[in-house]
């Protein structure tokens, strides 16, 4: 029988707590820690006050290629690559540190209500897995020279990113329309 290490268990709990604070789903916690599912559920409930969300994890590369998620995914992945290549961090720790920096960069300005981030920790972890399995890759934009997430099997010669060539429907979401209407109503009141 293998001896349990109290220090190892404490490290696993600490890792799980870090990921829960950043919004990790239960499946991500299970894959990255050695803690039992029951223990993770109990920890999640204790920290968040609710049961962990149910449902499947994202499994399609398509989400990462639409205009706004692509920009956020590319920001995160470039930070992640820097962590791995230059900071001597790898694995889940690199993902956590890169995601923390990503969140600092995309935060709402002070005084603005905090919105749900475009890229969740679980999607960031999935992105790294997709790139490692060569389903997605990174391509340099011919216009701005930035590195962007693209589909490995698409024709990516003369690639122009979503920032240099903004799609015509960009920013015309239901949420943007509601915010505009709210501003107009508050200006007339």
- pLDDT for 50-109, tens place per residue? 888 887 777 789 999 988 999 999 999 999 999 999 999 999 999 999 999 999 988 866
Concatenated DSSP letters of the chain? -PPPPHHHHHHHHHHHHHHHHTT--HHHHHHH--S-HHHHHHHHHHHHSSPPPPSPPP--SGGGGSHHHHHHHHHHHHHHHHHHHHS---HHHHHHHHHHHHHHHHPPPTTSPPPPPSS-HHHHHHHHHHHHTTSEEEEE-TTT--EEEEETTS--TT---TTTS--TTTT-SHHHHHHHHHHHHHHH-
Cα angle 69-99-73, degrees, rounded to a multiple of 5: 20
Its pTM stands at: 0.81
- pLDDT for 123-143, tens place per residue? 999 999 999 999 999 999 998
Query: In the predicted model, is pLDDT for residue 189 greater than 60?
Result: no
Neighbouring-strand partners of residue 137: 150
Query: In the predicted model, is pLDDT for residue 161 greater than 50?
Result: yes
What per-residue confidence (pLDDT) applies to 5? 81
CB 188 within 8 A of CB 174: no
Would you kindly state where each structural domain of the chain is located, as residue ranges? 7-48, 62-177
What per-residue confidence (pLDDT) applies to 117? 84
- Nearest Cα neighbor of 48 from 27, 30, 31, 24 is 24
What percentage of the chain exceeds 90 in pLDDT?
Answer: 58
CB 129 within 8 A of CB 143: no
- Nearest Cα neighbor of 57 from 29, 76, 36 is 29
Query: In the predicted model, is pLDDT for residue 151 greater than 50?
Result: yes
Distance CA 156, CA 72 (A): 19
Contacts of 88 (CB under 8 A, 6+ apart): none
Q: Picking from 40-44, 47-51, 56-60, 110-114, which range would have the lowest pLDDT averaged per residue?
A: 110-114
Query: In the predicted model, is pLDDT for residue 147 greater than 60?
Result: yes
């Amino acid at each position: 029988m293998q001896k349990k290490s109290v220090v190892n268990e404490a490290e696993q709990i600490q890792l799980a707590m870090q990921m829960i604070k950043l919004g990790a789903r239960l499946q991500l916690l299970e894959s990255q820690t050695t803690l039992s599912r029951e223990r993770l559920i109990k920890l999640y409930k204790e920290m968040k006050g609710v049961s962990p969300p149910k449902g499947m994890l994202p499994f399609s590369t398509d989400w990462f290629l639409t205009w706004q998620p692509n920009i956020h995914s590319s920001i995160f992945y470039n930070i992640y690559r820097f962590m791995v290549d230059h900071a001597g961090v790898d694995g889940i720790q690199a993902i956590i540190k890169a995601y923390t920096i990503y969140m600092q960069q995309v935060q709402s300005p002070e005084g603005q209500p905090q919105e749900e981030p475009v890229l969740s920790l679980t999607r960031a972890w999935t992105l790294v897995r997709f790139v490692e399995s060569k389903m997605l890759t990174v391509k340099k934009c011919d216009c701005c020279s930035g590195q962007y997430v693209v589909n490995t099997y698409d024709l990516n010669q003369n690639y122009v990113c979503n920032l240099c060539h903004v799609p015509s429907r960009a920013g015309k979401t239901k949420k943007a329309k509601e915010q505009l209407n709210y501003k107009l109503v508050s200006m007339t009141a």
